[in-house]
Amino acid sequence: MSAIDSVKNYFQQVMAPKIQEFTSLDELIVVIGGSVSYGFADELSDVDAYIIWDIPRNVWFDKLRQFLFMHQMIDGYRVQFIPLMLQSPQYSSFSYLFHEQFDKLKDCDFELLYDIQHFIPIHDPKGIISKGKAFVSDLGSEYWQEKCLEHCEKLIDTLEAFYSSLKRKNIITGSMYFGDALKGLLQTVYLSAGFPYPTAKWIWNGLERVDAKMFESIRTYFENGFPCSSEELRNCIHSVTEVVTDRLKEKGFVPPYIINDLLCP
Residue 18, amino acid:
K
Cα dist. 174→235, 258, 262 in Å?
Answer: 13, 22, 17
Residue 98 has what pLDDT? 93
CATH code (residue 100): 3.30.460
Say how many C-beta atoms besides its own lie within 10 A of residue 236's C-beta. Answer: 18
Residue 157 has what pLDDT? 97
Domain count, the chain: 2
pLDDT 10s digits, 62-76: 888 788 867 889 999
Cα dist. 255→148, 239, 262 in Å?
Answer: 11, 20, 11
SS3 79: strand
Cα(25)–Cα(38) distance, integer angstroms: 26
Is the confidence at residue 179, as pLDDT, over 80?
yes
Residue 229 has what pLDDT? 85
Which residues on adjacent β-strands are paired with residue 47? Answer: 79
Last residue of a domain, one of 68, 102, 137: 137
87 lies in the same domain as 162: no
Last residue of a domain, one of 73, 103, 137: 137
| C-alpha torsion angle, residues 2, 6, 9, 10 (rounded to 10) | -170
206 lies in the same domain as 243: yes
Mean local confidence (pLDDT), 170-182: 94
96 lies in the same domain as 206: no
98 lies in the same domain as 184: no
Could you tell me if 69 and 80 are in contact, meaning their C-beta atoms sit under 8 angstroms apart? yes
Residue 37 phi/psi, 5-degree rounding, is -70, -30
Confidence of residue 246 (pLDDT cuts 50, 70, 90): very high
21 lies in the same domain as 128: yes
Cα(131)–Cα(137) distance, integer angstroms: 10
161 lies in the same domain as 46: no
Could you tell me if 196 and 111 are in contact, meaning their C-beta atoms sit under 8 angstroms apart? yes
11 lies in the same domain as 133: yes
Residue 128, amino acid:
I
pLDDT 10s digits, 151-162: 999 999 999 999
Cα(148)–Cα(87) distance, integer angstroms: 31
Last residue of a domain, one of 105, 137, 169: 137
158 lies in the same domain as 126: no
Cα(1)–Cα(153) distance, integer angstroms: 47
Q: By C-alpha distance, which of 95, 130, 124 is closest to 30?
A: 124
Residues near 216 by beta carbon (within 8 Å), at least 6 away in sequence = none
Residue 176 has what pLDDT? 95
188 lies in the same domain as 224: yes
149 lies in the same domain as 181: yes
Could you tell me if 91 and 29 are in contact, meaning their C-beta atoms sit under 8 angstroms apart? no
Residues near 234 by beta carbon (within 8 Å), at least 6 away in sequence = 163, 166
Is the confidence at residue 86, as pLDDT, over 90?
no
Could you tell me if 251 and 192 are in contact, meaning their C-beta atoms sit under 8 angstroms apart? yes
Question: With a threshold of 0.85, does the pTM exceed it?
Answer: yes
- Could you list the residue range(s) of the whole structural domain that residue 122 is in? 3-137
54 lies in the same domain as 149: no
Is the confidence at residue 224, as pLDDT, over 80?
no
Alpha carbon 258 to its chain's center: 25
CATH code (residue 238): 1.20.120
121 lies in the same domain as 148: no
